[in-house]
Structure 1
Amino acid sequence: MTLSIALRGDTARFPGNTLPALRSAWRAGADLVKIDVHLTSDGYPVLVDERTVATPGSPPRPVADLTLAELAGARDDVERRIPTLMEVVAEFRDEEGPPLLVDSASPEAALAADALLRDRPCARVLHTGSTETLAALRAQSPEARLMIAWDQPTPPAESALRGLRPAFLGTHHTLITRDSIGEMHRFGYSIAAWTVNDFTEMARLIGMGVDAIATERVDDLVPLTTGRAQGGVQATGQV
């Protein structure tokens, strides 16, 4: 089957990387929810779209330079409040939550997120980020599942990814063909198409056997990946 990835949650209804957006994407049936994780200056992993945040009375500053308390006062609207990763975990204290695709802004953020999520109920996690970030994560967690961004239509050379052992290659959807999917699969990689918001393109990629699709239109994608869309389009990719 083809997996559905909701980018920053259900952003068609709520601001991205907020608890309402995540809840809505999970209710819609997304297989993974992609979140952007930064580390505050006092060591808390938080979910933020941007790398800089303006606090009241101050110009924008990097998230890494701000404390959790400073970030807590950065947004007045409760639906736009910046949540911690621990709050996401707390959503599923007594049940297994849907998997997360954790896009960490730095190696430090990735290591903190991994330490927090490991052995938690919602710890079915796929990590992504820069090569440096993924290398640090692989060194800490040999069993971590990784997705690396890849902007070529052919598989990477072994030397390019030595030691990372990614499970997924995240590729812009315009680079993907049926032949390239087959070649990537022969090399042992699953393919995630990035970022697909057009319904027709979603259906085309599913028909070609892509393994995952990342979108900002989760309500359009989930019926396709589950075979519930009008016309009965079925997902055929392999994970």
Structure 2
Amino acid sequence: MALTVAHRGDPYVHRENTLPSVRSALLKGADAVEVDVQVTSDGVPVLLHDPSLDRLWGHPRAVAGLTRDEIGRLTGGAVPTLGDALAELARHAHGRMLLDLTDTGQVGPTLAAVRAAGAGERVYYCGGATAMRAVRDADADAEIALTWKTSAWPAPALLAEVAPRWLNLRFGLVDPPTVAYAREHGLLVAAWTADWRRSMRRLLALGADAVTTNRLTALQRLTGDG
């Protein structure tokens, strides 16, 4: 049965990429919680999808230009560090965390936080080829979900270089030939981000091994976990 991956926590209940959102998804039994990582000016990885605080917190300030403490003051302490999120994960016996990285500058601070938390067995990484190459270079044992956004399949040479466990596809790209390609290369298939039951059912019928969603409870009802 497909794994249920909670997109940025439980964002229909709590603000995305916050500790209450992560906690809610874990308490509901998500197999994994996908979170986004940005890095502050003083090198601290924090949970935030956007490169600025504008959309979620109303401050048009770039995360990369702010220290961890400055972000804390601007958001009332609501933006957690990755270390905070991993500490929350450790409080739950069930579940993993999928760390979404968008550039190579995030890799070093992120892997350092994972090592400091002793969380290597409970996290895996997703992102594009450049970021995932950097993860592989830094950690030969990292579990990688190579994010793919086009209908042209990743070249075998790239797969050999990155050595992903997962092919992490935009959900509309999941079709029988693509699933077959993944299987031929020993890859599990992950799909993101499916929020409608029709899309979820289609992905499950195609044999997706993991589905990322903002509507965790709806997906769990279809997989039998709800």
TM-score, normalisation: structure 2: 0.89
Change (3 A) 1:15 1:187: same
- Can you give the 5+ residue segments of structure 1 that lack an aligned partner in the other structure? 230-239
Letter in 2 for 1:184: A
Residues 92, 122 of structure 1: 8 Å contact kept: no
Per-residue deviation, 1:97: 5.3
Per-residue deviation, 1:228: 4.8
Structure of higher CA gyration radius? 1
Per-residue deviation, 1:108: 2.7
Alignment of 1:39-118 (within 5 A): 39-53=39-53, 60-76=60-76, 81-93=78-90, 96=93, 98-118=95-115
Distance in 2, matches of 1:109 and 1:168, equals 20
1:202 to 200, 203, 208: 200
In the TM superposition, what whole-angstrom CA distance separates every residue of 1:196-229 from its partner, at most 9, and x where no partner exists? 000122122112211111111011112222x256
Alignment of 1:118-129 (within 5 A): 118=115, 120-121=118-119, 123-129=121-127
Distance in 2, matches of 1:17 and 1:75, equals 13
Per-residue deviation, 1:93: 4.8
Tell me the residue number matched to 2:37: 37
Change (3 A) 1:129 1:179: closer
Residues 38, 49 of structure 2: 8 Å contact kept: no
Letter in 2 for 1:222: Q
Tell me the residue number matched to 2:13: 13
1:138 to 123, 136, 139: 136
Distance in 2, matches of 1:11 and 1:59, equals 20
- How many pairs are equivalent? 222
Residues 154, 180 of structure 1: 8 Å contact kept: no
Per-residue deviation, 1:107: 1.8
Tell me the residue number matched to 1:4: 4
Distance in 2, matches of 1:152 and 1:101, equals 21
Q: Quick check: 193-202 or 15-24, which moved more? A: 193-202
Instruction: State the percentage of identical aligned residues.
Output: 32
Distance in 1, matches of 2:75 and 2:113, equals 25
Alignment of 1:156-195 (within 5 A): 156-195=154-193
Per-residue deviation, 1:190: 1.1
| Structure with more of its chain in helix, by fraction | 2
Distance in 1, matches of 2:86 and 2:186, equals 31
Letter in 1 for 2:84: E
SS in 2 for 1:72: helix
Per-residue deviation, 1:20: 0.6
Letter in 1 for 2:98: L
SS in 1 for 2:74: coil
SS in 1 for 2:9: coil
- Can you give the 5+ residue segments of structure 2 that lack an aligned partner in the other structure? none
Residues 96, 122 of structure 1: 8 Å contact kept: no
Distance in 1, matches of 2:120 and 2:218, equals 25
Change (3 A) 1:197 1:99: same
SS in 1 for 2:202: helix
